[in-house]
Amino acid sequence: MNRLFYGDNLHVLQDTHAFPDASVDLIYLDPPFNSKRDYNLLFKSPVSGGRASRQAAADGSAGASPSNYTEAQITAFEDSWHWGDQAEREFDELLHQPNTDVAEMMKALRAFLGENDMMAYLTMMANRLLQLHRVLKPTGSLYLHCDPTASHYLKIVMDGVFGKANMRNEIIWCYRKWAVTQSQFASNHDTILFYSKGEQNTFNTLYAPLSEGTMKRWKGKKQLAVFNEEGERTATNKDEESKGTPMFDWWDISIINPASKERLGYPTQKPLALLERIIAASSNEDDVVLDPFCGCGTAVHAAQKLKRQWIGIDITHLAISLIEKRLKDAFKTGLEFEVHGTPKDLASARDFAKRDKYQFQWWAVSLVEAQPFQGKKKGADTGIDGLKFFRDVDQKDARKIVVSVKGGENLKADDVRSVMAVREREGAEIALFISLTEPTKGMVADAASAGFYESANGRKFARVQLLTIEGLLSGKQRAEHPDYLPDLNFKKAKTEASGEQKKLL
Ligand SMILES: C[S@@+](CC[C@H](N)C(=O)[O-])C[C@H]1O[C@@H](n2cnc3c(N)ncnc32)[C@H](O)[C@@H]1O
């Protein structure tokens, strides 16, 4: 069964029941590179509150046009590592695991680098690579995607974990990107370290189309062959001509440009073509592909497309909910997967809320299929945790729904009234109030006093809807609003043609 895990991949992988030894055929990982940046997820959002609609009403225009939308952002993940308690603990684990080469090598690196961000990053990576090596089958391979910030150190770590002899390629993924640089060349490539677990790794030679020059030269040769062999072409020429040239270790694949349909707004999203190439080369149909830093799910998308089984892990719930949507948009048939690590009942939801307030909020917001609003680093609390947009019958402009999540054990008497005020302030048609605890009778009465949004076709929807986590999890409750959701919510992945695989090159 295909599986998506929400959680820290080290803890997820340490569960040997879910991840037995030698159970995975191919691993691709694209960990944060220690670039010391925050990566923001972009959403489209109508210009602040109901202004677009109010302006439209005032000047008699039909409603919000594309220029009425701005891009809102939220920090999806942070890419900075610091030497501290956690790094010290993970370093200690490295010293006490069975691969003594790795323990020695990490000690040497620590002596050379000292206790700093890079060492913290390498410690984090070494522990995870050891787990990944454990779960790989003897015929399996691992592709580690990195860049010049740390690729030279990571190669040493990989030599320790996989053994120098199992290094297969250092793949250079090059792309065109405009950049102004001083005193150095523009850095327009990433490095992908390809290692196998053993000597007999699964590998399907891929071919690149022949260049025009080569084609012409070969045609000349072929005629010679035809002439010499009385009309018969040599088998070698025929084969090579149809297959192309065996692919080499530098790959020219475009990055996803901002206007591309493939782009989902998730930072660091990799092109599908890159992942399809890796998966086609190092796995076969029905093999298991694992991406332990799966982001918005490019590797699992490519695996599903190429009929592999797949497992994805990510530490932010934003990624998990984005992947669920991406896959459902792209594959209308034949898609089956389980999501692990997210609360399935009230007790685990309570525990989640206590452990991580923000991830809990993002998860709760995903239960009503809204997009999260504002991350932990944003300024004043607006009282909004999520946004959702709908379009009513015969209306061009999108209407807004605000979502507010209360993860605490106790609700305050005026919590619902504040949400009602937020709805009005924002010009939203509907407000969803999601709580862990049941609202009181007084709150229900407050909410009811907000009345209904009446759709053009006569359907009525409560303007303030009180939903509980338990009600949403059990399916007894759901957000009620007109059904048509414009593509303003998460961006939509292109639907994949069912079944057939496109050419890889
Ligand atoms: C560079 S992005 C991956 C992008 C992905 N290749 C794609 O095409 O969308 C790295 C991802 O690793 C996740 N991540 C960071 N630390 C993690 C950890 N310890 N366990 C699981 N995921 C982690 C981040 O949340 C982020 O989504």
Counting every residue, how long is the chain? Answer: 505
Instruction: Give the domain ranges of the chain.
Output: 2-36+80-206+248-340, 208-245, 344-474
Mutate to test the pocket of ligand 1, among 132, 301, 314 (most ligand atoms within 8 A of CB): 314
* CB burial string 274-310: b at 16+ within 10 A, e below: bbbbbbbbbbeeebbbbbbbbbbbbbbbbbbbbebbb
| Reported confidence tier of residue 395, pLDDT bands at 50, 70, 90 | confident
Q: Does residue 9's CB lie within 6 angstroms of at least one atom of ligand 1?
A: yes
Q: Does residue 268's CB lie within 6 angstroms of at least one atom of ligand 1?
A: yes
Q: Which of 80-94, 191-205, 253-267, 480-494 has the highest mean pLDDT?
A: 191-205
* pTM, to two decimals: 0.84
Per-residue pLDDT of 401-442, as tens digits, reads 999 999 988 898 899 999 999 999 999 999 999 999 999 999
Q: Does residue 359's CB lie within 6 angstroms of at least one atom of ligand 1?
A: no
Alpha-carbon span 428 to 370, nearest angstrom: 14
Q: Which residues are within 8 A (CB) of 5 and not within 5 positions of it... i.e. 6 or more apart? A: 12, 311, 312, 313, 314, 339, 340, 341
Q: How many angstroms separate the alpha carbon of residue 133 from the centre of ligand 1?
A: 18
| Atom number, ligand 1, closest to the C-alpha of residue 266 | 9
Task: For ligand 1, atom 5, name the residue with the nearest CA.
Answer: 295
Q: How many angstroms separate the alpha carbon of residue 277 from the centre of ligand 1?
A: 20
Alpha-carbon span 435 to 464, nearest angstrom: 13
Task: For ligand 1, atom 12, name the residue with the nearest CA.
Answer: 293
Is the pLDDT reported for residue 56 higher than 60? no
Nearest-CA neighbor of 273 among 502, 2, 24?
502
Q: How many angstroms separate the alpha carbon of residue 19 from the centre of ligand 1?
A: 19
pLDDT value at position 180? 86
Q: Which residues are within 8 A (CB) of 465 and not within 5 positions of it... i.e. 6 or more apart? A: 430, 431, 432, 433, 447, 479, 480
Task: For ligand 1, atom 26, name the residue with the nearest CA.
Answer: 295
Per-residue pLDDT of 326-350, as tens digits, reads 999 999 999 999 999 999 999 999 9
Q: Does residue 491's CB lie within 6 angstroms of at least one atom of ligand 1?
A: no
CATH number of the domain located at residue range(s) 2-36+80-206+248-340 in this protein: 3.40.50.150
Identical fold for domains 2-36+80-206+248-340 and 344-474, yes or no, is no
Q: Is the dihedral of CA 369, 373, 375, 380 positive or negative?
A: negative
Q: What is the mean pLDDT of the chain?
A: 85
Q: Which residues are within 8 A (CB) of 72 and not within 5 positions of it... i.e. 6 or more apart? A: 42, 43, 44, 45, 373, 387
Share of the chain above pLDDT 70, in %: 82
Q: How many angstroms separate the alpha carbon of residue 492 from the centre of ligand 1?
A: 20
pLDDT value at position 489? 60
CATH 3.40.1350.10 fits 344-474, yes or no: yes
Q: Does residue 293's CB lie within 6 angstroms of at least one atom of ligand 1?
A: yes
Angle at 443 between CA 484 and CA 407, to 5 degrees: 75
Is the pLDDT reported for residue 213 higher than 90? no
Task: Tell me the average pLDDT across 72-90.
Answer: 80
Angle at 266 between CA 262 and CA 271, to 5 degrees: 40
| Atom number, ligand 1, closest to the C-alpha of residue 33 | 1
Is the pLDDT reported for residue 66 higher than 70? no
More reliable by pLDDT, 259 or 498: 259
Angle at 446 between CA 442 and CA 451, to 5 degrees: 145
| Atom number, ligand 1, closest to the C-alpha of residue 316 | 25
Task: For ligand 1, atom 3, name the residue with the nearest CA.
Answer: 295
